Amino acid sequence: MFVDEARIFVKGGDGGRGCVAFLREKFKPFGGPDGGDGGDGGSVYLVADSSLVTLADLQSRIHWEAERGQHGRGKSQHGKKGKDTLIRVPVGTVVRDDKGAFLGELLEDGERLLVARGGRGGRGNRHFATPTNRAPRFAEDGKPGEARWLRLELKLIADVGIVGLPNAGKSTLLSAVSNAHPAVADYPFTTKTPVLGIVELSKWEKMVVADLPGLIEGAHKGKGLGDRFLRHIERTRILLHIIDIAPPDHKNPEYAYRTIRTELRAYSAELAAKPEIVALNKTDLLTPQKAASIAKKLSRKIGKPVHTISAVTRKGVPQLLRLLYNEVITARQSRR
């Protein structure tokens, strides 16, 4: 089950108490105070794990608490520090507190984010001896660990994000070129959650492609399924815009293109500015001459090259993948 939002409670471990003790050894009648310090409490960290693609594990466990520090002991023995608690989350997780304040994001495998610091251990009575009070009979309590509610939001990280109207053939294309198995059917909104696939052009040439739920007019306002998943496109390097060349509702490809572009701009100007490759799909339903004519007309109207493919027969797909990969390499190098 794909889950891209979670709310959890985290608490750092409390610090251990300082100890009140006095040195009692033979030949040392005035040994003085020797109470040890309490150990610091453990802290709670979020850790990015590239093997995870969903926040589903955090639905079954909401409360996370680190181990408390051990109390100090006599003979100046320091209490043991509490163990840290590590919470594994997918790469691309954004972290906010319960009021919506941004705390950080985890963008690389193994990256850590401290979300609840452990309490400091209390000092033993040996720290409080003075010339006027050589035998203090008090010590500090440990400080409580930090506690807070967190809101986690996952934004998938992929090289290519496939966008388009429902039933444009996005899932069919991804299933044809990768190891992913998105739902494919002849009705809209078969893709209800983002699906990641790895496309291999060769042993050394690979890219991650995300199939996103189809967008409709008004998606940025909450219509359809797309508004919830628009944020996943923000982390992609380039966009692959798939358009049905012969839609059943007989709306022309230019309408489909303009609809998606309007939604992207309304959601985020940065998102709309991403590099984009446009492809007309389902060309197997038309003659080659008719498909070429539609592509040429659309290209002239939108001012961009338009490629023709058939995800079913794979015609034009290898050339499209090569073009995508070259764009991905350029985008990767530009971010170094």
- In this prediction, residue 203 carries a pLDDT of 81
- Same domain? 56 vs 135: yes
- How far is it, in rounded angstroms, from Cα 230 to Cα 232? 5
Is residue 110 a contact partner of residue 82, using CB atoms and an 8 Å limit? Answer: no
Q: Name residue 5's beta-bridge partners.
A: 153
Domain boundary among 106, 129, 154: 154
Q: Exposed (0-12), middle (13-18) or buried (19+): which is 167, by Cβ within 10 Å?
A: buried
123 and 79 share a domain? Answer: yes
Spatial neighbors of 172 by CB under 8 A, at least 6 apart, are 184, 281, 311, 312
**Cα separation of 280 and 224, whole Å?**
23
Please state the rounded mean pLDDT for residues 109-137. 92
At 97-116, the pLDDT tens digits run 988 899 999 988 899 999 99
Looking at the predicted structure, is the pLDDT value of residue 251 above 70? yes
Phi, psi of 300 (to 5 degrees): -65, -35
pLDDT recorded at residue 182:
47
In 3D, which of 150, 78, 141, 82 has the Cα closest to residue 114? Answer: 150
pLDDT of residue 200: 87
One domain, residues 138 and 172:
no
Query: What are the structure tokens assigned to 299, written together?
Result: 């290209």
pLDDT at 185: 42
- Rounded distance, CA 324 to CA 315, Å? 16
Range of the domain at 109: 5-154
What are the beta bridge partners of residue 114? 45
Domain boundary among 125, 154, 183: 154
CATH of the domain at 171: 3.40.50.300
- Do 299 and 285 belong to one domain? yes
Query: 304 and 217, same structural domain?
Result: yes
E strand intervals along 133-220: 147-154, 160-163, 195-200, 206-211
189 and 207 in a single domain? The answer is yes
pLDDT digits (tens, 9 = 90+) for 318-327: 999 999 999 9
pLDDT of residue 321: 94
Q: Are residues 212 and 174 in the same domain?
A: yes
> What is the per-residue pLDDT for 29?
64
pLDDT for residue 235 = 76
Same domain membership, residue 237 and residue 91: no
Instruction: Specify which residues 48 forms β-bridges with.
Output: 89
Task: Label residue 175 by pLDDT band (50, 70, 90).
Answer: confident
Confidence class of residue 4 from pLDDT cuts 50, 70 and 90?
A: confident
Query: Predicted confidence band at 172 (pLDDT cuts at 50, 70, 90)?
Result: confident
CB atoms within 10 A of CB 124: 29
- CATH number for the domain including 104? 2.70.210.12
d(CA 293, CA 306): 11
Most confident of 31-45, 146-160, 180-194: 31-45
* Structure-model confidence comparison of residues 214 and 58, the more confident one: 58
pTM: 0.68
Given a contact cutoff of 8 angstroms between Cβ atoms, the answer to whether 55 and 93 are in contact is: yes
pLDDT at 78: 93
Q: Which residues of 73-112 are buried (b: 16+ CB within 10 A; e: fewer)?
A: bbebbbbebbebbbbebbbbbbbbeeeeeebebbeeeebe
202: DSSP letter: S
Which residue, of 154, 175, 194, is where some domain finishes?
Answer: 154
Same domain, yes or no: 111 and 250: no
Same domain? For 178 and 309 the reply is yes
Q: What is the mean pLDDT of the chain?
A: 85
Residues 235 and 324 reside in one and the same domain:
yes
93 and 171 within one domain: no
* E-assigned strand segments in 91-131: 93-97, 102-106, 112-116
With CA atoms as reference, report the closest residue to 40 among 142, 146, 137.
142
Count of domains forming the chain? 2
